[in-house]
Amino acid sequence: MVGKNNSILDMVDVHARYESVPVLRGVSLYIKQGEMVVLVGRHGSGKTAILKAICGLLPVVKGEVLFDGLSIQGLPPEKIVGLGIAYVDEMKLLFPAMSVIDNLILGTYHRHRRERRDHIEQDIETVCQLFPVLAERKKQYAGTLSGGEQQMLAIGRALMSRPKLLLLDCPTLGLAPKLAKKVVQALSELRDHGIAILLIAQKLQQVVDVADRGYVMERGEIIREDSPQELLYVGEHSRFVSPKT
Amino acid sequence: MDFPNALQIFISGANLGAIYTALGLGFFVIYSVTRLVNLAQGEFVMLGGMLTVSFYKMGIPLVPSITLAVIISGLAGAGLYRFIIYPARGYSRLTQLLLTVGFVFAIQGVALLIWGWDFRSLPAFFNTPCIQLWGATIFGQTPWVIGATLVMVIGLFFFFGRTIQGKALRACANEPLGARTMGVNIDRMALYSFIMAAGLGAVVGAMITPLTMTSYSMGWSLTIKGVLAAFVGGINRAEGVILGGVALGMMEAAAAGMVPGGYHNVIAPGILIVVLLLRPHGILAIPGRVE
């Protein structure tokens, strides 16, 4: 099922707060299947809050979040991942004292036992094709991987859940330019396979050629929607994108 | 020291080591998921022993008696989590620790009302006779204790290492938020850990009753031994708990065989103090993962 605009995700007038501090004020956005949408804005503008509100880590106090036509606000994260939304946190949230392979296997946790058993080998193979370094590090503890490898593992683990929508918080943060390019390329391939992607870009330049649309956030509100190229051009001449982005 | 005496000490040490390892594993299971040291763990051992004796005396065969004792103790573990720890999940570790102590006194009081002050016992399982080996005596129950502990250890390694539920339990301790975003229900996992630890404790209780007898008040001293085993070896690693349990058992047996009077009782706490001063997280603990 899809929502209006043929979208897989719709946020309508969403308000959310961290304790008593409002972090989202009437946010409305949509993402279509197979679309890559980028969120940009200054630090503290509410980008991460949007991702957390979608995946259930931040309670929505007003408004509606529709995924595949179903209202999902109020559901806990462990239910939301089962609907087909995978979230990759900025901190990656890997299981450091567990091996790479165990981290990947846990990505399938919410899937039915039979489905997991029938497809797990194939899915691990797919992730390892996307990120070959993970195949070489299968038995290594996740906590001993480099920053780039951990990022690939976090994305790979999210893919093991076979998501329809992938939420990524700064997937290229701290990566060398070459590695960042590799991660962006992998995301582009995923998008081409029909996965919707909503990501926060630390540097808009890194995704400008692959993203389809972008939203600019400021103080918990969306202040502009445009093509990434346009946002980059405008961003270089305005104040909504911090020097880092 | 002659060979039969040395062998006797070794056998006693292996027996005690198996008991302490099994006790420590109960702490390990709950700590692995919740980061809580459950000071009521020894009470599940007491419950397991007392219930097994009660069912057995009612004419129920041994294996069903133990099974029933494990199930009821598991339910008590579920009750401890659901009605005491879960409502206090946002509280400090210290508060939760004190709540488990409160549960200790509550369950002891109930046990006293039901079973009274008397010590109770069971015959060695299936009337296994004592074995004489090169001058040393092995009690009939000892092979059962060591065997049951081995089965528990292998079972836990398999469960935590090979099954997705076991991996999910470990993931909860590793990175709770990450586990939630994978679809793991952390509260349910914590509940499972309490049920599992209570069940393990009950098995230990049934196993040791023919050797040590059981009474309503036996749980606390077993808790202390289990805590010692777990913390000496490293509570966040099963290997650490095994090492701690075996080392504690062996040292206690050696001290009992070589140190006069009741001084051997000083050995275990003495070891704990020395080890914790030198290795605050335990001998094999993964540093930084013990709170």
Give the ipTM.
Answer: 0.87
Q: What is the arrangement of strands in the sheet containing A70-71, beginning at the earlier edge strand? A: A21-32, A7-18, A60-67, A70-71
CA distance A93 to chain B (A): 5
Conformation bin of residue A19: beta by default, left when phi > 0, alpha when psi is -120 to 50:
left
Are A109 and B286 an interchain contact pair (Cβ–Cβ within 8 Å)? no
Mean pLDDT across the stretch B93-113?
A: 94
Cα dist. A189→A34, A183, A196, A230 in Å? 10, 10, 11, 23
Distance CA(B47)–CA(B165), nearest Å, equals 27
SS3 letters across A180-210: HHHHHHHHHHHHHCCCEEEEECCCHHHHCCC
Taking CB atoms and an 8 Å limit, are B182 and A55 in contact across chains? Answer: no
Residue B35's CATH number: 1.10.3470
Segment A74-128, tens digit of pLDDT: 999 999 999 999 999 988 899 988 999 999 999 999 888 888 888 899 999 999 9
Contact A39, A50 (CB under 8 A): yes
A105/B164 CB distance under 8 A? yes
Q: Is residue B288 part of a domain?
A: no
Average pLDDT, chain A: 89
Q: Determine how many CB atoms are found less than 10 A away from the CB of residue A226.
A: 14
Confidence at residue A188, expressed as pLDDT on a 0 to 100 scale: 93
* Residue B216 located in a structural domain: yes
Instruction: Look at residue B284 and tell me if it is in a domain.
Output: no
Tell me the one-letter amino acid at B159: F
The pLDDT of A163-188, averaged and rounded, is: 89
Q: Could you say which of B174, B175, B185 has the minimum Cβ distance to residue A78?
A: B185
Residue B47 lies in a domain: yes
Give the CA angle between residues B38, B40, B43 to the nearest 5°: 145
Q: Is the model more confident about B133 or about B91?
A: B91
Contact B18, B145 (CB under 8 A): yes
* Contact state of B182 with A81 under an 8 Å Cβ cutoff: yes
Largest CA distance in chain A: 54
Structure confidence at residue A244 (pLDDT): 45
Q: Rounded to 5 degrees, what are φ and ψ at A217?
A: -115, 145
Question: What tokens does A19 get?
Answer: 């304790």
| Residue B66 · residue B54 · CB < 8 Å | no
Tens of pLDDT along B58-99? 999 999 999 999 999 999 999 999 999 999 988 998 999 999
For residue A245, pLDDT over 50 is answered with: no
Nearest-Cα distance to chain A for B33, in Å, is 13
Q: Are B43 and B108 in contact (CB under 8 A)?
A: yes
Q: Is A81 on the interface with B (CB under 8 A)?
A: yes
- Assess contact for A35 and A213: CB atoms under 8 A: yes
Residues 6 or more apart whose Cβ sits within 8 Å of residue A144:
none
DSSP for B201-263, please give it. Answer: HHHHHHHHHHHH-B-TT-HHHHHHHHHHHHHHH-TT-HHHHHHHHHHHHHHHHHHHHHS-TTT
| A26 pLDDT higher than 90 | yes
| Residue B288: pLDDT over 80 | no
The mean per-residue pLDDT over the stretch A167-179 comes to 86
Does the pLDDT of residue B286 top 80, yes or no?
no
Q: Is the model more confident about B243 or about B270?
A: B243
Disruptive mutation site among A52, A55, A93 for chain B (greatest number of B CBs within 10 Å): A93
Residue B246 within a domain: yes
Reduce the DSSP state of residue B166 to 3 states and report it: helix
- The predicted pLDDT at position A243 comes to 45
- Banded pLDDT at B254 (limits 50, 70, 90): confident
Q: Would the CB atoms of A106 and B181 count as touching at under 8 Å?
A: no
Q: Above 50 in pLDDT, residue B171?
A: yes
Which pLDDT band, with edges at 50, 70 and 90, does B120 fall under? very high
| Mean per-residue pLDDT, A206-232 | 92
Test A95 with B181 for CB contact under 8 angstroms: no
State whether A96 and B177 contact (CB < 8 Å). Answer: no
d(CA A61, nearest CA chain B) in Å: 21
CA B247 to CA A150: how far, in whole Å?
38
* Residue B287 lies inside a defined structural domain of this protein: no
Q: From the CA of A239, how many Å to the nearest CA of chain B? A: 34
Could you tell me if residue B184 is inside a domain? Answer: yes
C-alpha to C-alpha distance for B64 and B66, rounded to whole angstroms: 5
Residues of chain A found within 8 Å of residue B177, distances taken between Cβ atoms? 57, 89, 93
Is B170's CB within 8 Å of A89's CB? no
Compute the residue count for chain B. 291
How many Å apart are CA B7 and CA A242, to the nearest integer? 74
Is B183 within 8 Å of B201 (Cβ atoms)?
Answer: no
Give A-chain residues touching B179 at CB under 8 angstroms.
95, 106
Q: Do B184 and A78 touch (CB under 8 A)?
A: yes
Do residues A69 and A3 make contact, with C-beta atoms less than 8 angstroms apart?
yes
Domain boundaries, position B124: 3-278
CA A219 – CA A46 distance, rounded (Å): 7
Question: Is B40 in the A-facing interface, judged by CB distances under 8 Å?
Answer: no
Residues B235, B244: Cα–Cα separation, whole Å: 9
User: Residue A97 is nearest to which of B168, B174, B185, comparing CB atoms?
Assistant: B174
Q: Running DSSP on this structure, what letter comes out for residue B120?
A: B
SS3 call for B102? helix
Whether residue A103 contacts residue A88, with contact meaning beta carbons closer than 8 Å, is answered with: no
Question: What value does the mean pLDDT of chain B take?
Answer: 89
Q: Is residue B290 part of a domain?
A: no
CB contact (8 A) between residue B167 and residue A107 = no
Q: Select the residue of A76, A94, A109 nearest B175 (Cβ to Cβ).
A: A94
Closest-CA residue of chain A to B183: A78
Which of A79, A97, A107 has the CB atom closest to B182's CB atom? A107
**Phi and psi at residue B175, in whole multiples of 5°?**
-160, 85
* 268-287 of B, contacting A, C-beta below 8 A: 286
Q: Which of A52, A98, A106, A167 to mutate to test the interface with B (most CBs of B within 10 A)?
A: A106
Percent pLDDT > 70 in chain B is 97
Distance CA A161, CA A154 (A): 12
Three-state secondary-structure class, residue A71:
strand
8 Å CB contact between A107 and A156: yes
Question: How many Å apart are CA B135 and CA B139, to the nearest integer?
Answer: 13
CA distances (Å), origin A82, targets A77, A153, A189, A196: 9, 20, 23, 16
Percent pLDDT > 70 in chain A is 94
Domain count, chain B: 1
How large is the average pLDDT for residues B233-246? 86
pLDDT band at A239 (very low <50, low <70, confident <90, very high): low
Partners of B164 on chain A (C-beta within 8 Å) are: 105-106, 108-109, 116
List of domains in chain A? 1-84+165-245 (3.40.50.300), 87-162 (no CATH)
**What confidence tier does B281 reach under pLDDT thresholds 50, 70, 90?**
confident
Q: Using the beta-carbon criterion (under 8 Å), do B168 and A106 form an inter-chain contact?
A: yes
Q: Is A3's pLDDT higher than 80? A: no
Contacts of A224 (CB under 8 A, 6+ apart): A215, A216, A231, A234, A240
- pLDDT score of A154: 94
Q: Distance, in angstroms, between A157 CA and closest chain B CA? A: 9
What span, in angstroms and rounded, lies between the C-alpha atoms of A23 and A46? Answer: 6
Q: Is the pLDDT of residue A1 over 70?
A: no
